[in-house]
Amino acid sequence: MPTELYPLKFKTIFKDKIWGGNKINTYLGKDFSPLPNCGETWEISGVPSDVSIVDGGALEGRSLADLLAEYKDELVGKKVYNRFGNIFPLLVKFIDANDWLSIQVHPDDELAKKRHNSFGKTEMWYIIESDPGSTLIAGFNKQTNEAEYIEKLNSGHLNDILNVETANAGDVFFLPAGRVHTIGKGLLLAEIQQTSDITYRIYDFDRVDDKGNKRELHTEEALAANDYNFYPEYKTNYEHEVNLDVPVVSCPYFTTNMMEFTHGTTKDYSHLDSFVIYVCVGGECTLLYNNQSYALKMGECILLPKSINEVDIKTEKGFKLLESYID
């Protein structure tokens, strides 16, 4: 008899980045030693090079890929399994930008399939904490085209056409594939994205690593990936309501709601043909399922398999969860 599925936590995968800092430790309480810094943590990942490993319970030590191959639609839902097969479709990260990330863009599904036999990379950011005055780049500040983009890039004036946004705690930015973007210095955020590690680096501020080498750029690859259109709104507007499920982002790849509660609640997922991921971005709570309890605090994530139709969430101090699934 296979082990019955339960709410799954995974071992954190730490990523040393040239722009990383120490907020993963000081703010989220995650010890990334012996790394000198930590730019990203991968919390739930089906990326072949970095597959998540279960942390706790009867399935301790099993990989997410193994579980998906064994449990299939019990883990992710029939519709999701039929669409994605044995690839877990979402990647969840925390990102600490102690310096600007490279200006970059991600390909869409069609281009990524053609070039890399991969999914594209649509993503969203939830700002957990920001230093005063922190900004980020999302999209263009005017309608442009490939010719103007190349001219600005080659002349060193790309910033002239990039859209800069102030970013504060609680802000959400949705980044569809093709949108030029970067995270600015002083931002700590949660990222939910398609399962893909494909990034086209456009400009890296002429940085060098500890060996004096610049990171590779993907100038030509980015040209076909860029969305050169101007959009009136780049920051996602959502209602800041308490003790309600608040819709934040809905796209073909994931739906994300904000759950900010001052008291406990019960969630019924019997109508949903998908797994559910909770990303805790504030406070703490305890999930109760099948006479077992699962603690969840800020900086932690948990995966509810499709086989779980109902879960009780208890709290003493209140909590803030990003609730994500595939609709």
Query: Is 3.40.50.300 the CATH number for 245-325?
Result: no
Over residues 213-218, the mean pLDDT reads: 92
User: Is the confidence at residue 1, as pLDDT, over 80?
Assistant: no
CA separation for the pair 177, 175 (Å, rounded)? 6
pLDDT tens readout for residues 14-30 = 999 999 999 999 999 99
Second CATH level (architecture) for the domain 13-236:
Sandwich (2.60)
Domain with CATH 2.60.120.10 in the chain: 13-236, 245-325
Q: How confident is the model at residue 209 (pLDDT cuts 50, 70, 90)?
A: confident
Does the annotation count 215 as an active-site position?
Answer: no
What confidence tens digit (pLDDT) does each residue in 89-109 have? 999 999 999 999 999 999 999
Predicted pLDDT of residue 2: 83
Which backbone phi and psi does 243 adopt, to 5 degrees? 65, 30
* Active-site entry in 62, 83, 115, 201: 201
Cα four-point dihedral sign 261, 264, 270, 276: positive
Whether the pLDDT of residue 210 is over 90: the answer is: no
- Confirm if 253 and 265 have CB atoms less than 8 A apart: no
Q: Per residue, what are the HEC states of the chain?
A: CCCCCCCECECCEEECCCCCECHHHHCCCCCCCCCCCECEEEEECCCCCCCCEECCCCCCCCEHHHHHHHHCHHHHCHHHHHHHCCCCCEEEEEEEECCCCCEEECCCHHHHHHHHCCCCCCEEEEEEEECCCCEEEEEECCCCCHHHHHHHHHHCCHHHHEEEEECCCCCEEEECCCCCEEECCCEEEEEEEECCCCCEEEECCCCCCCCCCCCCCCHHHHHHHCCCCECCCCEECCCCCCCCEEEEEECCCCEEEEEEECCCEEEECCCCCCCEEEEEEEEEEEEEECCEEEEEECCCEEEECCCCCEEEEECCCCEEEEEEECC
Q: Is the pLDDT of residue 211 over 90?
A: no
pLDDT at 128: 98
Which pLDDT tens digit goes with each residue over 35-92?
999 999 999 999 999 999 999 999 999 999 999 999 999 999 999 999 999 999 999 9
